[in-house]
């Protein structure tokens, strides 16, 4: 009969069992640390920055986080580092040369293979069967509309932080919305993708037709300041990290400044009317050579010997405009432009901005006053111009552009020019389209007002480039009850057979603006209507609290 184990034997067995269990736990931990966590030494896992969706004003998705993964490798587990590098490069798109060098010379236990790889790429990596790989959860920003709103939406970096456009400018709102959202927070922008598509399409068509170097456009609500559309061409694909040939991330509407030419005459007439230095019934002599000191001012096109004040604007006379602004002088002109916000960067949700260029006070003399009066010698961003022009037509009240949806809230502020001056300017701008250089933007039933601008392009040596123009068109509709602005700019367009070789704004930018208005007006709920009578306009002015404009003072 076998003897029962003694107390000491039982204790030995129990002790041996505990040792076996302890060694097993240690072994498991060593395997876990060496195979799975060992190469994390010295590497802190980057937190995933949660970002809310960006949408247009109607809820269409502009930007969303998609789950992806970052891939790390521990080279010491690779029997063939070169082969591993080749396989991982083929699966992820990383550089094989970089990976092989990193695997052979790594100073740390881990090597970053690729960031933000998709599930498809992850599956390709898994098929390689390589040891020592780790997938770390991450997020990648996706832009479903691609190029259509690339510059205005902007992009994020590899850590999901905004680095341009609204991704950067609205980053506090995006993070706040993500923090309070149940599933996905949302930030609704002012952009209307229907308008954005149309604006982008018409600008690209015009750019190709006139082989322009670049083109851009803005659609703005003059009462809320909302930007419904902003396009800059050439553009880029925000879903790709690199740029294709000919692409550009630069938003020329916000971060470039230009001499805009005759569209600037809007401000010259506004200043003169508000300052009561101009009577719209008077007639100006248009001499062939108009001298200002030792300088001579010329016309872009042949003009008659005399022009009535309204025709100075409608026919875009440089000589007539020079006479008008010289009545006010340099000091008044500078103060007026500063008051309109044109001598400082425009405030907006976009981080991209540009400081205007203009003469110093001591250099702002008579000739500078004259040339600035017709848009040469001062450079501003298109967004800055549109903001000031909105104040001219919206009843004369301060407005700040915004890229956040305002739900119809009237955001007009203080009075910057008189309401009476604003009404007169609406009439003048309508006259430019019906009887002046803007006829090709006259869309039946939509009461369009506007102004053409054709400016010489300065070269690298400070001299203007021969036969190079920068053309633009500013449009407001409905002109007598303004709601929206459409602004189109074309950089160095060329005339075509259809335009008889002409490349001025009336042939290039104005038709494009007209086509945009024709397509977006129905979408924005602007009904077709006949032009109001003079009596109807006077009644509207009285209802708005303004004095009626006498027939003798209005075109």
Q: Which residues are catalytic?
A: 262
> Of 470, 475, 468, 422, whose CA–CA distance to 451 is shortest?
475
Instruction: Give dist(CA 217, CA 473) in Å, integer.
Output: 10
- For residue 349, the 8-state DSSP code is S
Classified as helix, coil or strand, 545 is coil
* Widest CA span in the chain: 139
- For residue 553, the 8-state DSSP code is G
Instruction: Give dist(CA 268, CA 271) in Å, integer.
Output: 5
Tokens read off for 98: 């970089």
DSSP run (H or E) holding 176: helix 171-180
147-183 burial, b at 16+ Cβ within 10 Å, e below that, comes to bbbbbbbbbbeeebebebbbbbbbbebbbebbeeeee
Instruction: Give dist(CA 282, CA 272) in Å, integer.
Output: 13
Which residues, in sequence order, are CB contacts of 499 under 8 Å at separation 6+? 507, 508
From residue 292, alpha-carbon distances to 183, 366, 367 in Å are 67, 7, 6
DSSP run (H or E) holding 271: helix 265-274
Tokens read off for 207: 């750019």
Residue 357 region by backbone torsions, left for phi larger than 0, else alpha for psi between -120 and 50, else beta: beta
What torsion, rounded to 10 degrees, do the Cα atoms 112, 114, 118, 120 define?
A: -100
Q: How many residues does the chain have?
A: 555
Which residue's structure tokens are 């009404």? 423
- Sign of the CA dihedral 371, 377, 382, 387? negative
10 Å Cβ neighbour count for 115?
19
């Amino acid at each position: 009969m076998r003897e029962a184990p003694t107390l000491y034997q039982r204790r030995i067995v129990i002790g041996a069992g505990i040792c076996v269990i302890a060694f097993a736990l240690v072994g498991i931990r060593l395997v876990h640390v060496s195979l799975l966590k060992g190469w994390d030494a010295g590497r802190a896992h980057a937190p995933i920055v949660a970002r809310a969706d960006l949408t247009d004003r109607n809820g269409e998705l502009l930007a969303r986080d998609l789950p992806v993964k970052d891939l790390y490798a521990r080279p010491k587990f690779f029997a063939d580092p070169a082969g591993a590098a080749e396989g991982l490069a083929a699966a992820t798109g990383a550089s094989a040369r970089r990976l092989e060098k990193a695997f052979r010379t790594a100073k740390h236990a881990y090597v970053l293979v690729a960031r933000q790889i998709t599930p498809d790429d992850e599956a390709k990596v898994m098929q390689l069967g390589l040891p020592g790989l780790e997938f770390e959860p991450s997020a990648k920003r996706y832009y479903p509309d691609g190029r259509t709103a690339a510059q205005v939406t902007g992009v994020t970096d590899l850590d999901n932080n905004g680095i341009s456009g609204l991704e950067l400018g609205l980053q506090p709102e995006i993070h706040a919305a993500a923090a309070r959202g149940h599933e996905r927070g949302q930030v609704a922008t002012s952009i209307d993708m229907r308008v954005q598509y149309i604006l982008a399409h018409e600008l690209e068509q015009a750019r190709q037709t006139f082989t322009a170097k670049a083109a851009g456009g803005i659609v703005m609500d003059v009462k809320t300041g909302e930007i419904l559309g902003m396009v800059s061409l050439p553009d880029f694909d925000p879903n790709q990290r690199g740029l294709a040939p000919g692409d550009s991330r630069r938003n020329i509407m916000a971060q470039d400044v230009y001499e805009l030419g005759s569209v600037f005459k809007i401000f010259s007439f506004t200043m003169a009317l508000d300052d009561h230095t101009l009577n719209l019934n008077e007639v100006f002599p248009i001499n062939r050579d108009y001298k200002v000191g030792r300088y001579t001012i010329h016309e872009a096109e042949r003009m008659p010997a005399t022009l009535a004040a309204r025709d100075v604007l409608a026919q875009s006379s440089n000589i007539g405009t020079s006479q008008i602004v010289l009545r006010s002088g340099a000091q008044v002109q500078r103060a007026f432009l500063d008051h309109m916000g044109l001598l400082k960067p425009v405030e907006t949700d976009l981080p991209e901005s540009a400081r205007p260029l203009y003469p110093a006070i001591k250099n702002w003399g008579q000739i500078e006053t004259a040339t600035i009066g017709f848009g040469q010698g001062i450079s501003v961003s298109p967004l800055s111009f549109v903001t000031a022009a909105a104040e001219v037509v919206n009843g004369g009240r301060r407005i700040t552009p915004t890229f956040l949806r305002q739900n119809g809230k009237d955001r007009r502020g203080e009075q910057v020019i008189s309401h009476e001056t604003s009404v007169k300017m609406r009439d003048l701008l309508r006259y430019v389209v019906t009887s002046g250089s803007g006829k090709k933007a006259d869309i039946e039933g939509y009461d369009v007002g506007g102004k053409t601008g054709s400016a010489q392009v300065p070269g690298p040596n400070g001299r203007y480039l021969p036969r190079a123009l920068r053309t633009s068109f500013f449009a407001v509709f409905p002109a007598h009850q303004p709601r929206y602005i459409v602004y189109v700019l074309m950089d160095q367009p060329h005339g075509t057979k259809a335009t008889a070789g002409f490349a001025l704004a009336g042939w290039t930018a104005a038709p494009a603006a007209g086509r945009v208005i024709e397509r977006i007006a129905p979408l924005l709920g602007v009904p077709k209507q006949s032009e109001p009578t003079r009596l109807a306009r006077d009644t509207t002015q009285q209802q708005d609290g303004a004095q009626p404009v006498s027939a003798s003072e209005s075109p």
